[in-house]
Chain A
Amino acid sequence: MSKQEIIDFMIKLIAEVAEEPIEDLDENTSFFKIGVSSIDALKIMNKIRKQLQVDINPVAMFEFKTIGEMSDYLLECIEEAE
């Protein structure tokens, strides 16, 4: 999976969970700025774990607060798992 594919996956996921227009989101979008609630954040984490089949650190969203930062982290996790 390429970084762009992960970014596209993340944008689609955030748009769905946070009910944000997909065209308003890009890799610089901050989870905090778009008003992700606690339940949204937990949904996002769990959907990433399920759909990408990666055992990511559950506290990742505490550290990686934009779609781009999270995508970089996910790419690392996927490459490590391969």
Chain B
Amino acid sequence: MLTKMQEYHEKVKQFLPGGVHYNFNLPWEESPLHFVKTQDSRVFDMDGNEYLDLYARFGAMILGHGNKVYQDALKAAIDRVLCVSHCDFDYEVLELIHSLVPSAEMIRFGLAGTEIVQNALRVARAYTGKNRFVRFEKHYHGNNDNIMGGKAVNADYPVPQDFAGDTYGTSGRAADCMESQSFLIPWNDEAALEKLLAAHGDEIAAVITEPMCVNGGSVEPKPGYLQKMRALCDQYNVLLIFDEIITGFRVGLGGAQGHYGVTPDLTTFGKAIAGGGVPVSVLAGKKEVMSLLEAKKVIHAGTFNGYPLGLAAVKATLEILSQDNGAVYPKMQEKITAIQNILVQNAAKAGIPLIVQGLPGCAAYHCCEKPLESPSEYSFDILTKDIILNTCMQKHGILVSSMSRLYSNISLTDDDVAWFEKHSVGALQDAAAILEDIC
């Protein structure tokens, strides 16, 4: 017998392909939860189940659900200046971002991460006069044809190609767009980058990277790796782009670039920068590079770029996060670290090998003995176990983001930590039984 939510999902599926708002190439049916109520770190579905929300809308939700200051700011913008292209708090938002982010000498706004990454690449091509960009295995920079999935088969000329079984592979990809525009190499591998730039630096406009590879399992850069990347880009007249759509304002006010002390030429932001309620993406960068937009040599268009509701959300979010010099961050990190430690302890009790890696705020667990040193080590076997535990946690009232990320928010409390401690026990026991059955 179907529950109320399952019945509703069947109705939705009649008109919404797969019953979901997004999909990748995964061979199973998605069963999304439909929510009716949210508050702080908790969400409630149509069947009356309560969850601790560490999914946080793919990491966008950083303030907690129902933050009054944030919601009042959005309501005020709706009441006063909803449908105009420029409004009377544009400067305050720009100045805030500039003051917090090392690379943000100038700033433009968009809506989606996918689109702003493409704008960053366009600017980089225009600035350098070169066509190709370099990206890294298991990193994710949006769902545009030229930058998603693929595998390089020739190490001497590592252009990505489609391959069977690629989670990020898609039918309908424009012919040759990956091969003609990009190179794809392993991350955390200085030698691979140095070799590629030495051989093909005259073709390469940009290197784009997640500064911490959240999409590849929340793998941190090896000490000195980002510094070396910065130096190599300078040496070969290549722009360095940090994709901070996940890490921005989640690992700290200055993003991952502030944490690791490496300043890129261009940075993309999204998700948490607008608090999670509305979409805003940001392209920030050096004045010398961004001036191509001022000179109108590079087009950056969009009906809703810089829309007041979005900028009101950015303003409120950054004001909340930066209050008292970012005092919310240590508190948030303390709570999520406590949750991470409980997960490791309870997994050991359940007999599941498990580690947590990555900066608190966008760390991930993996069901294996030791942390991944490279995203390329994130094997299907580990992914399988991670997904099983993710599914079991959902059944026990804990939502974890894909595939195993533990996204924090500033409203986390000791009650939430206690909820996790209590509910993770059953989830881990269930996962242990399934793993014993299938592995």
Is there a chain A Cβ closer than 8 Å to B192's Cβ?
A: no
- Pairs A-B, 4 closest by C-beta atoms: A59-B165, A61-B27, A46-B438, A58-B380
Which chain A residues in 49-76 approach chain B with CB under 8 Å? 57-63, 65
Contact A42 B29 (CB under 8 A): no
Is there a chain A Cβ closer than 8 Å to B295's Cβ?
A: no
Closest Cβ of chain A to B380, distance in Å, is: 4
Q: Of the candidates B27, B164, B166, B434, which one forms a contact with A39 in the assembled complex, judged by CB atoms under 8 Å apart?
A: B434
CA of A58 to CA of B203, assembled, Å: 36
Is there a chain A Cβ closer than 8 Å to B180's Cβ?
A: no
Sort chain B's interface into a size bin. 20 to 34
Contact A42 B26 (CB under 8 A): no
Q: Which residues of B contact A (CB under 8 A)?
A: 25-29, 31, 164-167, 380-381, 384, 387-388, 391, 434, 437-439
Inter-chain contact total with CB atoms closer than 8 Å: 59
For A40, the closest partner residue in chain B by CB is B28
Is there a chain B Cβ closer than 8 Å to A43's Cβ?
A: yes
CA of A37 to CA of B391, assembled, Å: 10
Q: How many residues of A contact B (CB 8 A)?
A: 22
Closest Cβ of chain A to B178, distance in Å, is: 18
Which A residues are in CB contact (< 8 Å) with B31?
A: 37
Which B residues are in CB contact (< 8 Å) with A45?
A: 384
Q: Of the candidates A35, A39, A60, which one forms a contact with B391 in the assembled complex, judged by CB atoms under 8 Å apart?
A: A39
Closest Cβ of chain B to A52, distance in Å, is: 15
Which B residues are in CB contact (< 8 Å) with A31?
A: 27-28
Which B residues are in CB contact (< 8 Å) with A42?
A: 384, 387-388, 438
Q: Which residues of A contact B (CB under 8 A)?
A: 31-32, 35-43, 45-47, 57-63, 65
CA of A27 to CA of B388, assembled, Å: 27
Contact A38 B439 (CB under 8 A): no
Which A residues are in CB contact (< 8 Å) with B29?
A: 32, 35-37
Contact B27 A58 (CB under 8 A): no
* Apart from the given pairs A31-B28, A62-B26, 14 other A-B contacts in the complex at a CB distance below 8 Å: A31-B27, A32-B27, A36-B29, A38-B28, A38-B387, A39-B388, A43-B434, A46-B438, A46-B439, A57-B165, A58-B384, A62-B25, A62-B27, A62-B164
For B166, the closest partner residue in chain A by CB is A62
CA of A62 to CA of B434, assembled, Å: 21
